[in-house]
Amino acid sequence: MGLEIRPYREEDLAGMMKVWNEVVEGGEAFPQIEPLTLETAAEFFAEQTLSVVADLDGKVFGLYILHPNNVGRCGHIANASYAVVSGSRGVGLGRALVEDSLAQAARKGFRGLQFNAVVASNAAAIHLYEDLGFVRVGTVPGGFMTFMGGYEDVHIYYRDCVDTAAVGR
């Protein structure tokens, strides 16, 4: 069957929860502290504009969530989070998920995609985002509390999802 990147289905929730919680419990990339339960996962993934899985032969190996970065007059900019199971990192799943999220964000009417808190030590994510044309627009000193209780900088990244020159900024 092969790799399929698609919107999640209810039967994916247990796998999505496992992948998401692995990143949360790792304490190095996501701001969340508490892991999801099946009940909170169902609610969390359903409330996103789009929740997508990387499915390989019926098993979830990665996912992303897409939603507005803010409300009202700032709601045209999207935000996304990505998670790939640790044993499958470095083989291109993250790239495929980010590329898909850019295309889906444009389809959903978002003009750009912004990441608010890319942890400075997350070299793989930084390399991927910059390779895909995201620009670092700022840094928040000490904006992330590590699992050991220290503080690390977070970077803010942005990329247009549509040709904004054609529609005016």
- The boundaries of the domain holding residue 150 are 3-167
Between 119 and 147, the higher pLDDT residue: 119
CA–CA gap between residue 96 and residue 99 (Å, rounded)? 5
Is residue 49 within 8 Å of 108, Cβ to Cβ? yes
The token duo for 55 is 């499915």
**What pLDDT score does 168 carry?**
42
pTM of the entire predicted model: 0.92
Residues 75 and 108: their CA atoms lie apart, in Å, by: 12
Report pLDDT digits (tens) over 61-112. Answer: 999 999 999 999 999 999 999 999 987 777 689 999 999 999 999 999 999 9
Which tens digits make up the pLDDT trace of 17-67?
999 999 999 989 999 999 999 999 999 999 999 999 999 889 999 999 999
Give the CATH number of the domain where residue 132 resides: 3.40.630.30
Give the per-residue pLDDT at 49. 98
Number of domains in the chain: 1
